[in-house]
Amino acid sequence: MTEIFFGYYESPIDLMEVTGTTEGITLLRFVEHRGSGLASNSTVQEATTQVSHYFLGTRREFDLPILLQGTGF
């Protein structure tokens, strides 16, 4: 079973939750409250850093590994 890690960023819009594994980011969404989960890892920390730089206006492109999930449908 793959471990999912969580990180949070208080954006100018709302609280953002970033989830990921050791291989990449699995979710980025706005939430009302911080959830309980495993601590952050380096992938999630890098994502929150890049999101922070985006909102500061110093980043326009992201270079994160993204793990797309879905079905064949």
Tens-digit pLDDT profile for residues 23-65: 999 999 999 998 876 688 999 999 999 999 999 999 999 999 9
On whether the CB atoms of residues 49 and 64 are closer than 8 A, the answer is: no
For residue 67, name the pLDDT band (cuts at 50, 70, 90).
Answer: very high
CA distance 1 to 23: 13
On whether the CB atoms of residues 35 and 50 are closer than 8 A, the answer is: no
CA distance 51 to 45: 10
CA distance 64 to 19: 12
The pLDDT tens digits for 50-61 are: 999 999 999 999
On whether the CB atoms of residues 61 and 50 are closer than 8 A, the answer is: no
Lowest pLDDT segment from 1-5, 17-21, 37-41, 56-60:
37-41
